[in-house]
Amino acid sequence: MFNNFYPLLITQERKPTSSSFLMRYFPFLILISKSLKYGMHEWALAQAVIKSTIALSDEKGIKSVGKIILLIGELQNIDMEIFDFALKELSKGTVLENTPITYKKEEAVLTCNRCGYTWPYDESFTKLSEEEKEAIHFIPETLHIYIHCPECGSVDFDVKKGRGIFIEDVD
């Protein structure tokens, strides 16, 4: 097994840049990402949403919840099918059972840490190649390799909006 790995490591030392490292190990990273995606993450998020929604409806004095609107960040790595299933399963036996859930996409916004420029993520994303788009889809962190500030070219930017899941409304 070590014999198989050894040549790979040597090659990696000769090409030290982060993007070539990433491209070399990309199939492995996808594998890791897919095994992580077994659903634990989605179930944990669904559990948090159910808990917060019940707390919110208690706070608002709502006895029977008519609808839930969730805002899903464009860059939130989530399998919507598993998430939706988890929400339905976890709401059984609670006040949220059979409550229709609407999902809305929250557009991502980036802000450059060097020059302060703020721009919509979509503006950069549409200019990427298919491979780059796919890389970001599987591993959202790779966004800092492929996307640069349109003003100053820096890769040091923050995601201001578009990550996370928010309860937009409950009634």
Write out the residues near Zn ion by the rule CB under 5 A.
112, 114-115, 117, 149, 151-152, 154
Tokens 């995601």 appear where? 159
User: Residue 115 CB, nearest distance to Zn ion (Å)?
Assistant: 3
* Cβ-Cβ contacts under 8 Å for 133 (sequence gap 6 or more): 125
Rounded to 10 degrees, the C-alpha dihedral 160/161/163/166 comes to: 130
Residue with smaller CB distance to Zn ion, 58 or 151: 151
50 versus 149: smaller Cβ distance to Zn ion: 149
Largest CA distance in the chain: 65
Per the CB < 8 A criterion, the answer to whether 59 and 51 are in contact is no
Please give the structure tokens belonging to residue 37.
Answer: 């995606």
Least separation in angstroms between residue 95's CB and Zn ion is 47
Q: Smallest gap, in angstroms, from Cβ of residue 91 to Zn ion?
A: 43
CA distance 123 to 135: 17
Q: How far is the CB of 157 from Zn ion (least distance, A)?
A: 7
CB contact at 8 A, 128 and 146: yes
Supply the Cα-derived Rg of the chain in whole angstroms: 20
Q: What is the separation of C-alpha 170 from the centre of its chain, rounded to a whole number of angstroms?
A: 23
Q: Which is nearer to Zn ion, 43 or 117 (CB)?
A: 117
CB of 124 to Zn ion, least distance (A): 12
Residue closer to Zn ion, measured from CB, 75 or 112: 112
Closer to Zn ion by CB, 20 or 154: give it.
154
